Amino acid sequence: MVNLLIKILEVFTIEYIPRLPISLRKPFYHLILPLRKVKDKVALSIPTSEMTFERRLEFAKTSRQGLNNSGSHLLKFNETVKVEKLENTPLDIYKFTPKEAVEDSYGIYFHGGGYYAGSIISHKHFISQLTAGTNVPFYFFEYRLSPEHVYPAAHDDAKIAVEYINNLENGKNSVWAGESAGGGLSAGLVVDDSFNFKPDKLVLLSPWLDLSDQNRDRSYLKNKDILLAIDGMHFVGEYYAGEYETTDPILSPVFADINNFPETLIQVCSNELLYNDAIEFTKKLREKGTRYELQVWDDLWHAWHFFPIKESYEATKNVINFITADSYSSPK
């Protein structure tokens, strides 16, 4: 019965709603996404003592399949962009090349998925839109996922990928972008003082910047967020942290003493669980005098950028403007 419900939700999410007039899509997603949230909440509701590695892996595999399915259906792939898997790389790295690529800049995308999901399949359509809109070649890498691998696996993989890509594009301007866990992963790399490579610009979309459960405002937002379940998010974050404290500044950059941070764009919606991650982090950026822009949308959901709605296209356009601007971009 549960599997049938999951299948029905997937079909409505990726097949039927995108066919509706764009003005009707958002209201229907508001009806469907809470049901998907319940599905995830039930899957992660068993006591910690009973959550075996096998159960975690089963949940992760189901989530990976679902994310791949939605990511490859909801948005259209921009056919003007060429995608190639690089050969002889230390981990799987892909390059997105636009038809008229600029010669002085490149981008690296850090994918989200709670550190347990996400791949080239789930993200290539969205990245093709960024690549085509900016004319900036983008790289995408796949890092090791939880529960098979916990921190610092993804962080170490990110360092390897960034160093490898930087050597290919040495001397060019760089922009890093990432959503959700990918936002936290990229920001964590910036605050890692042992790592010398930093971007010129950073784009954080609904970033997960606090894996701890210390933010009391999340309890207020848990019923407003129609996509993320607070217990499940904390549960997954604690497991990924492994032997490390969830307040470790690389895992949770809201606890970092940030210095020399790049120009940053953060997009978040006011009713998602990660809203205050963005707010607290921008306070740090402001205190340090970092050039940043915070763009807030209302009445949406976590990582809405991956859904075929008007607000997604607006947000992506703003990201494109930020990346291509020679100077600090103007407010939304």
DSSP 161-211: HHHHHHHHTTTSEEEEEEETHHHHHHHHHHH-TT-----SEEEEES-----
**pLDDT computed for residue 239 by the predictor:** 93
DSSP letters along 205-239, please?
ES-----SS--THHHHHTTT-SS--HHHHHHHHHH
Q: Distance between CA 215 and CA 273 in Å, rounded?
A: 10
**pLDDT computed for residue 41 by the predictor:** 75
First-to-final CA distance of the chain = 45
CA-closest candidate to residue 153, choices 115, 180, 183, 196: 115
Amino acid at 221: L
User: What confidence tens digit (pLDDT) does each residue in 114-168 have?
Assistant: 999 999 999 999 999 999 999 999 999 999 999 999 999 999 999 999 999 999 9
User: What confidence tens digit (pLDDT) does each residue in 183-242 have?
Assistant: 999 999 999 999 999 999 999 999 999 999 776 667 778 888 999 888 788 889 999 999
Q: Which domains does the chain have, with CATH numbers?
A: 2-324 (3.40.50.1820)
Full-model pTM:
0.95
9-13, 62-66, 170-174, 280-284: range with lowest mean pLDDT: 9-13
Greatest alpha-carbon pair distance for the chain in Å reads: 56
CB atoms within 10 A of CB 84: 10
Q: Distance between CA 306 and CA 279 in Å, rounded?
A: 22
Q: Distance between CA 25 and CA 300 in Å, rounded?
A: 12
Q: Distance between CA 107 and CA 322 in Å, rounded?
A: 13
| 83, β-bridge pairs | 96
User: Which helix (DSSP H) or strand (DSSP E) does residue 140 occupy?
Assistant: strand 138-141
Length of the chain: 332
Q: Are 151 and 184 in contact (CB under 8 A)?
A: no
Banded pLDDT at 332 (limits 50, 70, 90) = very low
Q: Are 113 and 122 in contact (CB under 8 A)?
A: yes
How confident is the model over 96-109, as a mean pLDDT? 96
Amino acid at 34: P
Look over the chain and give the mean of its residue pLDDT values, rounded to a whole number.
Answer: 92
**pLDDT computed for residue 18 by the predictor:** 95
